[in-house]
Amino acid sequence: MIKYIVTRISTKHREQVLNKPVSESVQDRFTQSTSKFHFMNSATNNSLVKYCLRIADSSLVLGQRLGEWCGHGPILEEDIALTNISLDLIGQARAFYTYAAQLENKGKTEDDFAFFRDEREYYNLLLTEQPNGDFGQTILRQFLISTYSYYFYSALKTSNDSTLSSLAEKSLKEVTYHLRHSSEWLIRLGDGTAESHQRVENAIDELWRFTGDMFDMDEVDELLIKEGIAINLASLKEPWEKKVKEVFLKATLKFPENQFMIQGSRNGKHTEHLGHLLTEMQALPRTFPGAEW
Amino acid sequence: MSNSQWPLWEVFTQKKSGLPFEHAGSVHAPDKELALQNARDVYSRRNEATCIWVVPSEYIISSTPEDMGSFFEPSNDKIYRHPNFYKTPGASFE
Amino acid sequence: MHTPTEQERETEFQARIDRGEMIEPKDWMPERYRKQLIRMMSQHAHSEVVGMLPEGNWITRAPSLRRKAVLLAKVQDEGGHGLYIYCGTETLDVSREQMIDDLLSGKAKYSSIFNYPTQTWADIGAIGWLVDGAAIVNQTALAKCSYGPYSRAMVRICKEENFHHKQGYEILATLMKGTPEQRAMAQDSMNRWWWPSLMMFGPSDKDSPNSGELMRWKVKRHSNDDLRQRFIDRTVPQAENIGLKVPDADLKFNPETKHYNHGEIDWAEFYNVIKGNGICNRERLKARREAHQQGAWVREAAEAFAAKHKENMIAA
């Protein structure tokens, strides 16, 4: 008789992972790297805080968007898959916020960063805040960002900052799957029916203008690149384009050329979508300031 | 609206390398890559697997309840196939 | 060779059940057993999937990142549970598509509890603790049911469901340790969810038409009233533990029976919600219909792709 495998231990494991404050799970990495804070000057430190917030904000906002799909997916299996991606992203956000709080050393928590900053203080990539649209738009958005994150974390793994590099290593495993999942879906939608092809073409038309924002750099990057902490985003552009072209080709989709790019996330400039997303997300903690949940 | 549905696949998971694969359940998927991904997303949410097999359900060949007597009862009386049939203390490698 | 008559087969079937044997998909079974299982299992699967909606209502508004992750994982689990049970039901020769059609057309039922709205964050705690608590009592019993695929799905589900119950209780316990507003929020939620949770076990045994047959087939192992009592006995001390008041003036521990006596359940409300007059009946079905309809082109695209690339279908 066919039997179900026993999952008791792993169920407990999931509880532990979910319940554990992120601060614990990355604590060992902090302990290893705490000593270097003495050598890090305040400009570097401030830049690194902002760098972490950028990464965390993008992960959180995209995770929040994917969370909107939960219970509404096109088929139950895919509903579950999108939530897995959302959970990975929220986990990444928590880890990078926690590191930012540690670096900033003002007693803040991951939740202070997530719930008590306004949209002008959010640095997430413009692409992440774009509405889900139909499933085609969600998959395209996921594919474009996962491709970016894949090369980003691959490079960040070599950061001089040991915490960043170990967080990058963990995140890379997750986004590698996100990339596989979204590529395979994009190929099926692009090369599926006439309707699905058209829907993805529409999504490209809608979202492509936000892709330039991903490679934008400012003085934060400049300073941290000098220290060997951050990575040169310009160097990601070529592999990113190559991968996108490769998958678009399989998906029978046209790669857009010479399009105008909308930028601004580095300075907290956003489309109007972000404000609504944050209002919804932050409502409860802001209604009851100081409350524990 | 589509009235058909994606084919059904049976999912087998291996908890750890070296352990046998066990039936975990099924998923619907249009092809083998998405079957594998769906199986991963549905049946290893709690670290339950290090390897997954997926098989289209229609390719599972099962014996039938009618086969039960002729298939399995003949091995019932071959107790000499079991080590505890032999009363030889000290001869075991275990 | 003697071909057994329908009557002989039924007698043998009942004998197998009485010996405690499990029934597997290819085994002979009375048509009525198959029908009843399809009804129960699909209703159960639909409840899991529709149940994603009231809790999903708070995913984007969870008050901390930890709570957001836990809630997402939990609602996702409900989807997984629905999936396990749909697959289990498919072994009875009914397609998932058919079951979903029956849900969307209103022919098939799902648990009425999910037609109540989640108005506050505390409701997420109440659903985990009370609704999932009641579900665990039900499902633990079903894990021993006579149909193999249903029983196996329940074993898996019960293991996962315990985390849901605990996280719900933790939400309420945290609120009860919080500000006066938070405590009021928790108590209000308790007041709204207590009675509907008791109704989840179904009508009293004397008014439950299917119970006798299902018990004889060991699909159900305990009566509705017994399971309800078990839930109350376990839950009342937990409520008292964190200072929540059970909204039942007649609730009293009976030292002789060692059970809590409880007040009358308002069955008129129960039947009213079943009839479709709950606050959220329409919205729940509408949400499921929309998800299904808007997903149609996606499912078709993947099918079309598979047809074009046959090498992706089976081992190439």
Give pTM, 2 decimals.
Answer: 0.92
ipTM higher than 0.90? yes
Judging contacts by C-beta atoms under 8 Å, the chain A residues touching residue B9 are none
pLDDT (mean) for A120-129: 98
Judging contacts by C-beta atoms under 8 Å, the chain A residues touching residue B42 are 77, 80
Residue length of chain B:
94
CB-defined contacts A:C, below 8 A: 170
Which pairs from C200-203 meet CB under 8 Å and 24+ separation? C200/C111, C200/C112, C200/C113, C200/C131, C200/C134, C200/C135, C200/C138, C201/C134, C201/C137, C201/C138, C201/C225, C201/C227, C201/C228, C201/C231, C203/C267, C203/C270
Which of B27, B37, B45 shows the shortest C-beta gap to A184? Answer: B37
Check CB contact of B38 with chain C, cutoff 8 Å.
no
Answer yes or no: is pLDDT of B93 > 90: no
Judging contacts by C-beta atoms under 8 Å, the chain B residues touching residue A14 are 45-47
- The pLDDT value recorded for residue C314 is 63
Distance CA C136, CA C165 (A): 8
Question: Among all residues of chain A, which has the CA nearest to that of C162?
Answer: A11
Average pLDDT of chain C is: 94
Q: Decide: helix, strand or coil at residue B9.
A: strand
Domain span holding position A70: 11-287
Residue A3 — pLDDT band, cuts 50, 70, 90?
very low
Answer yes or no: is pLDDT of B60 > 50: yes
Answer yes or no: is pLDDT of A143 > 70: yes
* CATH classification of the domain holding A152: 1.20.1260.10
Residue A30 — pLDDT band, cuts 50, 70, 90?
very low
Judging contacts by C-beta atoms under 8 Å, the chain A residues touching residue C72 are 67, 70, 83, 86-87, 90
Which of B28, B33, B45 shows the shortest C-beta gap to C96? Answer: B28
Which B residues, 27 through 86, put their C-beta within 8 Å of a C-beta on chain A?
27-30, 33-34, 37-38, 41-42, 45-48
Judging contacts by C-beta atoms under 8 Å, the chain B residues touching residue C83 are 25, 27, 42
Question: Among all residues of chain B, which has the CA nearest to that of A2?
Answer: B23
* Furthest-apart CA atoms within chain A: distance in Å: 65
B26·C90 Cβ contact <8 A: yes
Whether residue B48 lies inside any domain: the answer is yes
Judging contacts by C-beta atoms under 8 Å, the chain A residues touching residue C61 are 280-281, 283-284
The two structure tokens encoding residue A217: 């750099």
DSSP letters along C208-273, please? -TTHHHHHHTTSS-S-HHHHHHHHHHHHHHHHHHTTPPPS-TT-EEETTTTEEE-----HHHHHHI
C291·A7 Cβ contact <8 A: no
Q: Which of A127-131, B43-47, B63-67, C47-51 has the lowest mean pLDDT?
A: B63-67
Answer yes or no: is pLDDT of A25 > 80: no
CB-defined contacts B:C, below 8 A: 62
Q: How many CB atoms lie within 10 A of CB A198?
A: 12
pLDDT tens-digit readout, C213-260: 999 999 999 999 999 999 999 999 999 999 999 999 999 999 999 999
* Cα–Cα nearest to A249, from A190, A178, A169, A179: A190
Residue A199, judged by CB atoms within 10 A of its CB (0-12, 13-18, 19+), counts as buried
Distance CA C93, CA A289 (A): 55
Residue length of chain A:
293
Burial annotation C213-233 (CB, 10 A radius, 16+ → b, else e): ebeebbbbbbbbbebbbbbbe
| Chain A nearest CA to C223, separation (Å) | 27
A87·C53 Cβ contact <8 A: no
* Integer-rounded Cα radius of gyration of chain C: 21
Share above pLDDT 70 across residues of chain A, in percent, rounded to a whole number? 87
pLDDT (mean) for C174-185: 97
- The pLDDT value recorded for residue B76 is 83
C79·A193 Cβ contact <8 A: no
Phi, psi of C144 (to 5 degrees): -100, 15
Which A residues, 129 through 188, put their C-beta within 8 Å of a C-beta on chain B?
180-181, 184, 188
Which of C24, C73, C313 shows the shortest C-beta gap to B31? Answer: C313
Q: How many domains does chain B have?
A: 1
CA distances (Å), A201 to each of A137, A204, C96, C291, in order?
9, 5, 31, 22
Whether residue A4 lies inside any domain: the answer is no
Judging contacts by C-beta atoms under 8 Å, the chain A residues touching residue C52 are 70-71, 79
State the Cα angle at C215 between C34 and C104, rounded to 5°: 45
- The pLDDT value recorded for residue C147 is 97
Distance CA C60, CA A65 (A): 8
| Chain B nearest CA to A283, separation (Å) | 30
More confident residue, A33 or A152: A152
Check CB contact of B45 with chain C, cutoff 8 Å.
yes
Which of A18, A97, A114 shows the shortest C-beta gap to C70? Answer: A18
Burial annotation A98-126 (CB, 10 A radius, 16+ → b, else e): bbbbbbbeeebbbbbbbbebebeebbbbb
Whether residue A46 lies inside any domain: the answer is yes
Answer yes or no: is pLDDT of C280 > 50: yes
Domain span holding position B43: 8-81
Whether residue B27 lies inside any domain: the answer is yes
- The pLDDT value recorded for residue C87 is 95
Judging contacts by C-beta atoms under 8 Å, the chain A residues touching residue C110 are none
C90·B1 Cβ contact <8 A: no
Answer yes or no: is pLDDT of A26 > 80: no
**Quick one: which H or E segment has residue B26?**
strand B22-28
Whether residue A293 lies inside any domain: the answer is no
Among C53, C65, C161, the strongest candidate for a mutation testing the A interface, having the largest count of A CBs within 10 A, is C65
| C30: amino acid identity, one letter | P
Check CB contact of B21 with chain A, cutoff 8 Å.
no
Judging contacts by C-beta atoms under 8 Å, the chain B residues touching residue A181 are 37
- Check if the beta carbon of residue C102 is closer than 8 Å to that of residue C156: no
Residue A9 — pLDDT band, cuts 50, 70, 90?
very low
More confident residue, B72 or C86: C86
Sign of CA dihedral C67, C71, C77, C78: positive
Q: How far is CA A253 from the centre of its chain?
A: 25
Which of A2, A14, A77 shows the shortest C-beta gap to B42? Answer: A77
C87·B46 Cβ contact <8 A: no
| Chain C nearest CA to A70, separation (Å) | 6
Whether residue B3 lies inside any domain: the answer is no
More confident residue, B92 or A29: B92
Whether residue A292 lies inside any domain: the answer is no
> Tokens 């949940």 belong to which residue?
A293
Sign of CA dihedral A29, A112, A12, A62: negative
* CATH classification of the domain holding B36: 3.10.20.520
Whether residue B14 lies inside any domain: the answer is yes
Residue C28 — pLDDT band, cuts 50, 70, 90?
very high
A72·C60 Cβ contact <8 A: no
Whether residue B91 lies inside any domain: the answer is no
Q: Which residues contact residue B13 at a Cβ distance below 8 angstroms, ignoring those fewer than 6 apart?
A: A5, B21, B22, B24, B39, B43, B44, B48, B49, B51, B52, B53
Whether residue A273 lies inside any domain: the answer is yes
Question: Among all residues of chain A, which has the CA nearest to that of C177?
Answer: A292
**Quick one: which H or E segment has residue B24?**
strand B22-28
Answer yes or no: is pLDDT of B16 > 60: yes
- The pLDDT value recorded for residue B67 is 87
- The pLDDT value recorded for residue A16 is 53
Question: Among all residues of chain B, which has the CA nearest to that of C305?
Answer: B30
Question: Among all residues of chain B, which has the CA nearest to that of C292?
Answer: B1
pLDDT tens-digit readout, C117-151: 999 999 999 999 999 999 999 999 999 999 999 99
Which of B23, B24, B46 shows the shortest C-beta gap to A11? Answer: B46
Residue A40 — pLDDT band, cuts 50, 70, 90?
confident
Which B residues, 53 through 92, put their C-beta within 8 Å of a C-beta on chain C?
56, 59, 62, 64-65
Q: How many domains does chain A have?
A: 1
Among A1, A8, A18, the strongest candidate for a mutation testing the C interface, having the largest count of C CBs within 10 A, is A18
pLDDT (mean) for A201-220: 97
Q: Which of A265-269, B77-81, C125-129 has the lowest mean pLDDT?
A: B77-81
pLDDT (mean) for A222-235: 97
Check CB contact of A80 with chain B, cutoff 8 Å.
yes
Whether residue A20 lies inside any domain: the answer is yes
Which pairs from A11-14 meet CB under 8 Å and 24+ separation? A11/B46, A11/C159, A11/C160, A11/C162, A11/C163, A13/B46, A13/B47, A14/B45, A14/B46, A14/B47, A14/C73, A14/C163
Whether residue B53 lies inside any domain: the answer is yes
Average pLDDT of chain A is: 90
- The pLDDT value recorded for residue A27 is 46
A188·B30 Cβ contact <8 A: yes
More confident residue, A243 or B76: A243
Distance CA C129, CA C127 (A): 6
Which of A84, A184, A188 shows the shortest C-beta gap to B41? Answer: A84
Distance CA C195, CA C247 (A): 8
Whether residue A6 lies inside any domain: the answer is no
Whether residue B89 lies inside any domain: the answer is no
